[in-house]
């Protein structure tokens, strides 16, 4: 059920209507669980069984870990959780990729190949398995108490706004909010149920509207330019490759941050706070800063559950620091998909972030330079960082290795030819205009940090005008065909 479809609009309005009618708190939350499962079943059908498997596994394993008396038993139970979740993720996401690589090896010896399993990738599996893994790990670490009811845990795992493509929720972010709506304090005073507040409603609708705007106005209409360049990049000049890379960078940002905005806005309307997933990443001043701003829920997950355990024993060693960061980003790249391009994407970022971090720690002279704190120095830092980030985007976008290497070569070594560049511009006038508008609006949002909040606080007549302008802009370029979100593939 795509967010940018009439099906979701009808579904969400129906959920809000029923939530408003239902006043008994436990019924509200039970209904949200049922609605979330229906949302997932609508798209995945029988594959909802995988979601239920992860939920049941970690609900009971989490309880057992909490009550286990010995460290050994806790470790065995945690291993069972990791094996179940990562085994599920590994089989459905990477089995065919592994068979393909093994067949390449067999081909070197003229041995018969194994047939592919042709496994369908279950939507959202990368996200909900990471959520449930963090739950059991946090209980194992002693930083979280297990859910008190299966209904509570099931809603945490399957909460429909962020179920399919994040942000990746942590139990310690979501469960306290849920318990506040379900339980009683010591004085016997009942805490709030799900109440659709006017402030939340207005801010949530504003955020969702911005999300639809990013996806349906910008991402979907810039995509044809990126597709034209990277469907067959060999033979194109450097400026064409650079333009296509910029187009894809803006497309994926509009697509994924748009999804996140819609998810966060929908959750807020229902009375739940979901942390933001993007924070103006194209104004990052270093590769490390970029990952503090881009897909924040994934980068912090990798930091807390991969990098910190890897670096725990020796934080002062530059080699250990580099290796831990590189390994973390290698796995982050692999998380995105079963393909060498995603592995290369992760490795490139691993090198960027590792080198940046090691230099800052071992040679503080560079990071403490006053020049980089000036306006000019900051602009230069942003431009260099984005050049590196967009270079890595080529690996993310281009799956064919030969095409990827050609594109990277042209991106780095400019040939200063313009023939194909001018031809691409001539047939992509709308995407070019949208790129320019995107840059202007993105800069405005950077300068005006609380722009969305300011819009949501407009007087109702001005707010409605804003809403109608956005809706009219989307309608102007909408082709009546809702496009998938890119991260549905992961």
Catalytic residues: 336
Residue whose pair of structure tokens reads 């504003």 in the numeric block: 206
Cα 410 to Cα 244: distance, rounded to the nearest angstrom: 12
Cα 5 to Cα 259: distance, rounded to the nearest angstrom: 13
Sequence-separated (6 or more) residues with CB below 8 Å from residue 329: 302, 346, 347, 349, 350, 353, 354
Give the Å distances, CA to CA, from 247 to 77, 432, 441, 484.
46, 8, 15, 17
Tokens describing residue 301: 């997950």
β-strand partners of 190? 184
Cα 138 to Cα 140: distance, rounded to the nearest angstrom: 5
Residue whose pair of structure tokens reads 């010995």 in the numeric block: 70
Which runs of consecutive H residues, i.e. helices, occur in 315-459?
318-336, 340-362, 364-367, 375-397, 401-412, 419-426, 429-447, 451-456
b/e per residue, 348-379, with b = 16+ CB within 10 A?
bbbbbbbebbeeeeeeeeeeeeeeeeeeeeee
CB 89 within 8 A of CB 127: no
**How many CB atoms lie under 10 A from the CB of residue 346?**
25
Angle between the 238-269 and 419-426 helix axes, to the nearest 10 degrees?
Answer: 40
CB 1 within 8 A of CB 42: yes
94: number of CA atoms within 13 Å, CB side?
A: 17
Phi, psi (degrees; rounded to nearest 5) at 249:
-60, -45
DSSP secondary structure letters along 74-92 = HHHHHHHHHHHHHHHHHHH
Q: How far is it between the farthest Cα atoms of the chain?
A: 76
Cα 190 to Cα 186: distance, rounded to the nearest angstrom: 10
Cα 8 to Cα 5: distance, rounded to the nearest angstrom: 6
Question: Nearest to residue 284, comparing CAs of 365, 349, 217?
Answer: 349
Residue whose pair of structure tokens reads 């969702």 in the numeric block: 208
Angle between the 429-447 and 220-231 helix axes, to the nearest 10 degrees?
Answer: 120
3-state secondary structure of 243: helix
């Amino acid at each position: 059920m795509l967010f940018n479809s009439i099906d979701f609009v009808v579904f969400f309005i129906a959920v809000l209507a029923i939530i408003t009618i239902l006043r008994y708190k436990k019924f509200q939350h039970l209904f949200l669980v049922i609605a979330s499962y229906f949302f997932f079943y609508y798209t995945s059908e029988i594959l909802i069984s995988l979601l239920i498997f992860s939920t049941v596994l970690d609900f009971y394993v989490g309880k057992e870990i909490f009550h286990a008396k010995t460290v050994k038993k806790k470790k065995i139970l945690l291993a069972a959780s990791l094996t179940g979740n990562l085994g599920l993720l590994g089989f459905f996401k990477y089995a065919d990729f592994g068979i393909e690589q093994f067949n390449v090896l067999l081909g070197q010896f003229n041995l018969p190949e194994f047939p592919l399993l042709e496994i369908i990738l279950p939507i959202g599996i990368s996200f909900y398995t990471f959520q449930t893994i963090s739950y059991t790990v946090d209980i194992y670490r002693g930083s979280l108490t297990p859910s008190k009811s299966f209904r509570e845990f099931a809603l945490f795992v399957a909460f429909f706004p962020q179920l399919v493509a994040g942000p990746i929720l942590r139990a310690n972010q979501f469960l306290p909010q849920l318990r506040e709506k379900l339980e009683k304090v010591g004085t016997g005073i009942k805490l709030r149920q799900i109440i659709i507040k006017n402030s939340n409603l207005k801010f949530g609708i504003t955020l969702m509207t911005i999300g639809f705007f990013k996806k349906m106005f910008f991402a979907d209409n810039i995509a044809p330019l990126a597709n034209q360049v990277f469907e067959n990049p060999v033979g194109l000049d450097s400026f064409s490759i650079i333009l296509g890379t910029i187009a894809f960078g803006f497309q994926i940002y509009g697509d994924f941050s748009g999804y996140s905005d819609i998810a966060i806005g929908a959750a807020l309307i229902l009375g739940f706070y979901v942390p933001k997933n993007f924070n103006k990443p194209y104004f990052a001043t270093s590769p490390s800063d970029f990952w503090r701003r881009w897909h924040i829920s994934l980068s912090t997950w990798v930091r807390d559950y991969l990098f910190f355990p890897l670096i725990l024993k020796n934080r002062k060693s530059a080699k250990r620091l580099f290796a831990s960061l590189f390994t973390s980003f290698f796995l982050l790249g692999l998380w995105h998909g079963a393909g060498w391009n995603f592995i290369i994407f992760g490795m490139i970022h691993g090198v960027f972030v590792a080198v940046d971090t090691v230099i800052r720690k071992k040679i503080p002279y560079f990071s403490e330079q006053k020049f980089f704190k000036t306006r000019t120095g900051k602009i230069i830092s942003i431009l260099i960082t984005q050049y590196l980030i967009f270079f890595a985007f080529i690996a993310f976008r281009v799956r064919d290795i030969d095409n990827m290497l050609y594109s990277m070569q042209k991106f780095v070594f400019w040939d200063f030819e313009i023939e194909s560049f001018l031809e691409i511009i001539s047939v992509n006038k709308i995407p070019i205009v949208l790129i320019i508008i995107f840059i202007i609006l993105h800069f405005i949002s950077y300068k005006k940090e609380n722009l969305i909040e300011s819009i949501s606080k407009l007087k109702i007549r001005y707010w409605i005008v804003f809403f109608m302008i956005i809706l009219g802009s989307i309608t102007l370029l909408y082709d009546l065909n809702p496009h998938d979100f890119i991260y549905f593939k992961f």
